[in-house]
Chains A and B, each alone.
Chain A
């Protein structure tokens, strides 16, 4: 499991509007890469191109290459549905399926695709995924209760369990803690630390302390002004970005002078 991602000169458009311009980067396997930057700089837009989720927005398109262990995600005949099975995603707000129980939510990736599972197999996946998301002890007695009855932090960990249940290579997290309280945030951050043993993790965050705490490498995105495209300014080891960045704008941003 876990593959590396190489992005080559990627442009993202919404219709004719260029939202993100010329991004090239390498994302290492089994590491945590954080994207930081001011609002509207294109971090979320960019992360959604890594599993072709941007395509669900009408008019969104991409130029350039995204290689998953050498395979181009945007090659001809590549099915976005297959891409998304390998590159999972956790969203800003927890979004468990309200019609399903906790157990069914974890199994959603298989069940929605009508893969037949033996009960013991399904039980294994549920237990393994929930344990992987540090949620097992809290919900093991109420697996048949609806997922929307959990607290916000638990719901988000349920969503992570759901994402890792299909055993993706990469896990994308788009501001996974922005709707959570500090305690739940801490739980998720601990979880990210454990998950990187097995997965390549990319996380978008507004919280610079969080990026400093959880990530190995950090990419700083910035935007020249409204209506201009967002760009990757600098990408380096997290310690370097936060202590000794090579670009002035990065230093201004991480030291709180703007943004």
Chain B
């Protein structure tokens, strides 16, 4: 480095304003730009068409909406169901995912670690409809006794009010399937940040006589916290928007607090189940519900990105 002001290597060259533009350069850069702008147009189109198709819902007479009491009372049980399924999935998946990530990054023998990481990534490659099929035909019968037990012994808690569904096709089961589906997402992101922990920090902790867990607690976890949080958020975004697993596994119905009986539904599953046969105002209502879902996932994803960007500003690594 002999120059004082050489910019960081991430900087990319640009055409200078003074350079005479060659036709080839102009055509090529313009078409690249057009492709980028096209993406903005597509997204604007998504928003515009969805809003346009959703609007009739809000101007329609409340009694014509499904349920007969307007859009809001139609959509809130669905929002509840969406959140409930996602929360169950997060509660199950988060500790497991962190455990797996730590196992791969700090516990497993080095030669095994990469292969194990690949195996967990395999879970992410399995299509959701296969998880749905697995959930309804294999998992639901397996876990049904557990829900019965919960209903019998903890039935006084509203969440576990009996009688438990005999098929096992409940919110709890749907949440479990979702947990399996978001497990690889949270694992992959946490594993990455755990592996990035500066060796110096780890060795500093070990040199002070820390056990492996203490080293992880003082060096690895604090360093990886923003990554963990954003991984959880991305997993949450996926769980909120996931359609097929819930549509197939859950035996849908009206709102109920109980997670171990049939009933409840999520926005995504409601759309998948009803849209193909819908017409008229019902179509508009479903699209409006889709907008609500989009808004929720957007908020969650933005929050995740915000945490990540805050961290990168902090570390100065742009």
Contact = CB atoms under 8 A, between A and B. Distances in A.
Direct interface between A and B, CB < 8 A: yes
Given A57-B11, A58-B11, A19 B20 contact: no
Please report whether the interface of chain B is mostly helix, strand, loop or mixed according to DSSP.
Answer: loop
A81 B22 contact: yes
Interface residues of B, number: 16
Interface string A5-34: 000000000100101000000000000000
Nearest to A228: B4
A42 B20 CA distance: 27
A9 B12 CA distance: 28
A206 B4 CA distance: 15
Interface in B1-27: 1-7, 11-14, 16, 18-20, 22
A18 to B, nearest CB: 9
Given A58-B11, A58-B13, A58-B14, A226 B3 contact: no
A19 B2 contact: no
Interface in A39-54: 39-45
A39 B16 CA distance: 27
Contacts of A43: 2-3
A99 interface: no
Contacts of B4: 19, 40, 42, 45, 223, 226-227, 230
Nearest to B21: A79
B3 A79 contact: no
Contacts of B2: 37, 39-45, 175, 204, 206
Interface string A199-219: 000001010000000000000
B3 A80 contact: no
Contacts of B1: 39-40
Contacts of B22: 79, 81
A56 interface: yes
Report the contact-size class of chain A (Cβ under 8 Å from the partner).
Answer: 20 to 34
A123 interface: no
Contacts of B7: 14, 57-59
A56 B6 CA distance: 11
Interface in B29-88: none
A55 interface: yes
A120 interface: no
Nearest to A15: B5
Interface in A65-120: 77-81
B13 A19 contact: no
Contacts of A19: 3-5
B173 to A, nearest CB: 51
Nearest to A81: B22
A223 B7 CA distance: 19
A205 to B, nearest CB: 10
A245 B278 CA distance: 91
A88 to B, nearest CB: 18
Contact of A57 (B13, B18, B19, B20): B13
Given A19-B3, A45-B3, A58-B7, A79 B14 contact: no
Given A40-B1, A227-B4, 11 more contacts: A14-B5, A40-B3, A42-B4, A43-B3, A45-B3, A55-B18, A55-B19, A58-B13, A58-B14, A61-B18, A80-B16
Which A-B residue pairs are the 7 nearest by beta carbons? A56-B13, A14-B5, A44-B2, A45-B3, A40-B4, A55-B16, A44-B3
